[in-house]
Structure 1
């Protein structure tokens, strides 16, 4: 079994319980930085991160 692909900014694979998509903090959701694809979200404009908790 292989791990699902994760972008560098992701905290967990997509679909992991307790996570959700959020706007990439590096590119602000545009998917690009300085005319190229954002390295943090790999050009998608979103990252997967933990939600809620307490």
Structure 2
């Protein structure tokens, strides 16, 4: 097996496995932490909804 070919195929596997950007993954983790740290009291779920994050370009 040619060394260059094996490097290319490994790289393509990494890229195809990564569906979301690191920024998206970090934002999702932060949102999960916020939801865990600030659980809504029973009956007030409607009042505790988070606004959707603004899309950054």
Scaled to the shorter chain, the TM-score interval is under 0.3
TM-score by length of 1: 0.20
TM-score by length of 2: 0.19
Q: Whose Rg is larger?
A: 2
- For CA contacts below 8 A with separation 6 or more, give which structure has more relative contact order: 1
Query: Could you say which structure has the higher strand fraction?
Result: 1
